[in-house]
Structure 1
Amino acid sequence: MAKNNRPQNQQEQKVVTKYDKKVQKRKEAQRKAERDKKIAVFACIAAAAAIIVIAVCVAVSNYTKVHKKFIEVDNTPVSQIEFDFYYGVAKSDLLNSSLYGTMTYASYFTSYMGYDTGKSDASQKYASSDNTWYDYFANTAVTKIKEFKALNKAADDAGFTYNTLEDDYNSFIENIASEADSNSISVGEAYKELFGSHATESSIKPYVEKYLKAAAYQKELQTTLAATDDEVAAYYAENKDNYDTVDYRSFTITAETAGDTASLAAAKTKADAMAAAVTDEASFAQACTQYAATDEDKEKYADETASLSKSAKKSSVTNSSLADWLFTQDRKAGEVTVIEDTDNSAYIVAYFISRSYDESNNTTIANQLLSQKYNELITGYTDNMSVNNIKNRIKMLSE
Structure 2
Amino acid sequence: MSRPRVVLVGAGHAHLHVALNAQAFRARGAELILVDPGRLWYSGMATGMLGGQYAPEDDQIDPCPVIEANGGRFVLDRAAGLDRTGRAVILASGARLPYDWVSFNVGSEVAADPDWMRFHDVWTVKPILGLVHLRRRLEEAFRSSSSRPLRVVVIGGGATGGEVAANVDALARRRGGRVRITLVERGRHLLPGYPPGAGRLLYRVLTQRGIEVLFRFHVRTVRQGQLESEDGHRAEWDVLVVATGLKPAALVSRLGLPVADDGGLRVSASLCSVADGRVFAAGDCATLEHHRLPKLGVYGVRQGPVLLKNLLARVTGGALHRYRPQAFALSILDLGEGEALAAWGPLYGKGRWCMGWKAWLDRRFMERYRRYAP
Q: Same fold (TM over 0.5)?
A: no
Under a length normalisation based on structure 2, what TM-score does the superposition of the two structures give? 0.22
More helix by share: 1
Under a length normalisation based on structure 1, what TM-score does the superposition of the two structures give? 0.21
Larger radius of gyration: 1
